[in-house]
Structure 1
Amino acid sequence: HIQVKDAEFLNRHHRGKAPVLPLYTPEDAERSLDRFVEHAYEEPFEPLERTRVVLHEAGHIPGSASLEIQWKENGHAGSLVFSGDLGRPDRPILKDPAPLPKADYLVTEGTYGGKKHPDEISLYEALERVVHRAIERGGRIVIPAFAVGRTQEVVHALDRLFVEGRIPELPIYVDSPLAAEILVAVGRHPEVFDEETMEAIRHGEDPLGMRRITLVRDAEDSKKLNEKPGTFITIAASGMCEAGRILHHLKHTVSDPRHTIVIVGYQAEGTLGRRLVERQPEVRIFGEPYALQATVEVLNGFSAHADHEALVAQVKSCGAPKGCAVVHADLERAEALRAALVPSIPTRIPSEGDVWELR
């Protein structure tokens, strides 16, 4: 849906150039659902002969999993664990990530290798300060957020600050059809919640803050937000500001010093989100240059990725693997994690196209 709408927008505004085509359409995505097979955590299944797979709770986003793969070939047995995106222990809403099982080989993410996340108290204090400064300026608060996981956590944090009386009850608009659907879908799957969240639900509380938000599904309603005066909060995808409705909100706020852009997640190199984090004097949105004059606040504590300490602990839970590969990380972060693991665990940082023979 996002790709189709962005392609339509670009084609309308860049007439005379070769048409922009989406990589796939909603119809393609719907057809792919016929190929999905559901599997529960901790229940082994065999996708191939002599190959056994177990999914373990990764604690990153609802439904995220680490894969344990065991195989037998020519009389020899082997095992590999693929961490996937690993979550953080002791975070609100979701269950903690399960310890990675022992394995011969490990492929692990290293997004925050060498980095330590701020504690929850510091994070909430920082968010409180950001909101109060935005109110003083009289502008909007725009939060790019991934539709799955991050949006729910940001809403939860704002709701907690409201309940504790630390910030005024500002209007919150979740302007992402996908995030809106996920918020509703997650509410139907309490099995993904941690015990604290379940206890709150049993007592009739609203830990996800659903009663405080307005879900914006219609594109026309989304456009009207950019005409709305005063201070309010808009949360929209995509999280790295590369597509989706967030681009339209940034287009209307990025050059106005009254407004605040709050970055709450990892921003890959080359993305608009990274350029905002770097506070480059000029950014391009839909191919057009805009002066960056809005305030950019970066709250890394919202990351759903494990930090260095948690990553090292997870790798150590694998025992003594014969080899480990660090992926999903900038080179500096991958090197920091690798340095913490060698020489006790042979660790590599693979490049695209590398072949790793498992013996």
Structure 2
Amino acid sequence: MNTVTSYGAAGTVTGSCHLVKLGPIKILIDCGIFQGEGVGGSHRNYEPFEFDPAEIDFLIITHAHLDHIGRVPKLIKDGFNGKIIATKPTKDIAQIMLLDSAKILKEEYKTLRRKARRRGDEDTISEPLYTEDHVKEVFSKKWHLLEYFEKHKLPKGIKVTFGNAGHIMGSAFVMIDYFDEKIPKRVVFSGDIGSKHRLILDPLDNTEIADTLFIESTYGDRKHKPLQESVDEFKQTVIDTLERNGNVLIPSFALERTQEILWLLHQMSYNGELPKCQVFLDSPLAIKATRLYNKYPVHLSDEVEYHTLDNGDPFSFESLSTTSTREESRMINKVKQRAIIIAGSGMCHGGRIMHHLKHRLWNSKNTVIFVGFQVEGTLGRKIIDGDEYVKIYGEDIVVKAQVQTINGFSAHADQDDLIDWISNFSELKNLYLIHGEASKMEPFSKAIKERLNQDAKVMEYGVSVTL
């Protein structure tokens, strides 16, 4: 029997992990961490896998966001010894992401253990989920790196093919061709897909053939603002804040969103639109990621690629400073006005943005611009939801800064984009919704029925479905 079982990103956004059984072959699609609080929260990362990692033959990675790769070192630590399949940019990005994650886990462990020691119960603190040595082991395994639409043969007549998902550099949706009682079948996993209109990437590819589709639904309940409207809103917010001598704080994801923001600021600077200011990229991870984006210009949009060929680095400009060390980061505190600070983490659940929020969130001259999705339970979500006070490093901080949410930059497709992509499949028999909050899936399912006359089922955690 051929089945799929979701052990993450089922009724929640994070923790993507889908086990595909095709006869004797077991394929895992992603192995990401859970983020946020509640039932689907981060505490689940430390729980044992519901399957035996040693029995998994192949791990397919759709892209290198931590909610898709963050438990891969744990998977290997717990016995996985199969082949890993991904695009080349995904492998490179995954390496810097996982090493950074291991470093954060180590620091968190030290902090928790120090506090527990003072309480006299340090034995209650769990070891880190994984270490840098475990990450290094990930990249000592056998990887097979695919180009888009290059077929890769697996045993039993199974073939794996990637299409460009248009989400972040190297992201892919996965097409798996197999035989069911000698009848050819195809199952497709969307991974995370982007919209048709992106700032620095080519739009996602389409494909027409699938018997079964598992599709993300992060923004299945809404439509994003048009991209140009979001670009204009971003520029105006930056200009207005700087002209009142305020500071702009941008909690940004190291991958894609940071590079998009840098490209926009580069354009503003190039066109004379950016008021006099200092711009800080205060994220060692984002700095490394940006170098990788420069490494693969062929994966960028035509506009950015041509700009690179004619004018060099599209993510740099005169007023930009990169701050890799903690000492450099602390020096930003001395800049009292007219600064743009881009720092991780994107959901404000850690990273250097926490310090900048602590120092600047209480000042009404400043603006916090959220340019990415904020999972329930994260600090970023609390600020967006209008909490009057938020707790940062144990201190209550009043939220007086302007708060601006610009969701048109989202690397995730909105409802129209998702339905348009689904409509390309001519003979789709089964459709399952994954990677979304339960509250988003109901309106998405209803919209699919109304516009495509297609029934969509919501995947439940740990419940197998037959292909």
Counterpart CA distance in 2 for 1:14 and 1:33 is 34
Contact conserved, 1:172 with 1:234, CA < 8 A, in 2?
yes
Is 1:51 aligned to 2:169, yes or no? no
SS at match of 1:226: helix
1:16 pairs with one of 118, 133, 145: 118
Tell me if 1:263 matches 2:365.
no
RMSD in angstroms over aligned alpha carbons? 2.1
1:34-113 map, 5 Å: 34-35=140-141, 36-113=143-220
2:454 corresponds in structure 1 to 345
Report the equivalent of 1:225: 332
Deviation at 1:341, TM superposition (A): 1.7
Question: Cα gap change, 1:21/1:251 in structure 2, threshold over 3 Å: closer, same or farther?
Answer: farther
More displaced, 183-192 or 37-46?
37-46
CA contact (8 A) 2:212 2:430 kept: yes
What is the TM-score of this pair, normalised by structure 1?
0.92
The AA in structure 1 aligned to 2:135 is A
Tell me the alpha carbon deviations over residues 230-263 of structure 1, each in whole angstroms, 9 at most, x when there is no partner.
2211111111111222222222222232322110
Instruction: Determine the C-alpha separation between the residues in 1 that align with 2:445 and 2:188.
Output: 17
**Preserved contact between residue 269 and residue 317 of structure 2 (Cα < 8 Å):** no
CA drift of 1:14 comes to 6.7
Structure 1 residues 101 and 210: alpha-carbon distance in aligned structure 2, compared to 1, 3 A threshold: farther
CA distance in 2 between counterparts of 1:3 and 1:139 reads 34
> 1:137: Cα distance to partner?
4.0
**Mean Cα displacement is larger for which, 254-263 or 301-310?**
254-263
Distance in 1 (alpha carbons) for counterparts of 2:128 and 2:256:
25
CA contact (8 A) 1:251 1:285 kept: yes
Segments of structure 2 that go 5 or more residues without pairing to the other structure are 1-102
1:202-228 CA-to-partner distances (Å, cap 9, x unmatched) read: 222543335552222112211221232
TM-score of the two chains, using structure 2 as the length reference = 0.72
**Cα drift, residue 55 of structure 1:** 0.6
In the TM superposition, what is the alpha-carbon distance from 1:288 to its structure 2 partner?
A: 3.7
Counterpart check, 1:354 vs 2:463: yes
1:317 alignment partner, SS class? coil
3-state secondary structure, aligned to 2:351: coil
Q: Distance in 2 between matches of 1:307 and 1:82?
A: 17
Q: Is the 8 A contact 1:68 1:101 kept in 2?
A: no
Q: 1:26 aligns with which of 121, 132, 135?
A: 132
Structure 2 Cα separation of the partners of residues 183 and 67 of structure 1: 25
Q: Name the structure 2 match of 1:179.
A: 286
Taking the aligned partners of 1:14 and 1:246, their CA distance within structure 2 comes to: 26
Higher relative contact order (CA 8 A, sep 6+): 1
In 1, are the aligned partners of 2:276 and 2:338 still within 8 Å (CA)?
no
Q: Which secondary structure does the structure 1 equivalent of 2:187 belong to?
A: strand
Match of 2:421 among 314, 339, 349: 314
1:251-285 Cα shifts (integer Å, max 9, x gaps): 22222323221100111111111111112112122
- Deviation per residue, 1:5-39 (Å, 9 max, x gap): 34445555675244575322223222211234322
Instruction: Specify the alignment match of 1:249 in structure 2.
Output: 356
Deviation for aligned residue 1:149: 0.5
Q: Following superposition of structure 1 onto structure 2, how do residues 76-155 of structure 1 map, counting pairs within 5 Å?
A: 76-155=183-262
**SS of equivalent to 1:200:** helix
Letter of the aligned partner of 2:118 in structure 1? G
* Distance in 1 of aligned mates of 2:117 and 2:334: 27
Q: 1:5 aligns with which of 80, 84, 107?
A: 107
Whether contact under 8 Å (2:251, 2:343) holds in the other structure is yes
Q: Is the 8 A contact 2:391 2:397 kept in 1?
A: yes
Q: Within the alignment, does 1:190 sit opposite 2:297 as a pair? A: yes
Q: Corresponding residue for 2:392?
A: 285
Residues 1:161 and 2:271 aligned together: no
Q: Secondary structure at the match of 2:277?
A: coil
Aligned-partner Cα distance in 2 for 1:186–1:139 = 30
2:407 pairs with 1:300: yes
Whole-angstrom distance in 2 between the partners of 1:124 and 1:96: 17
Unmatched runs of 5 consecutive residues or more in structure 1:
none
- For residues 27-67 of structure 1, what are the alpha-carbon distances to aligned partners after superposition, in whole Å with 9 as ceiling and x for unaligned? 32222112343221111112443211101001110010000
The question of whether the paired residues in 2 share the 8 Å contact of 1:10 and 1:286 is answered with no
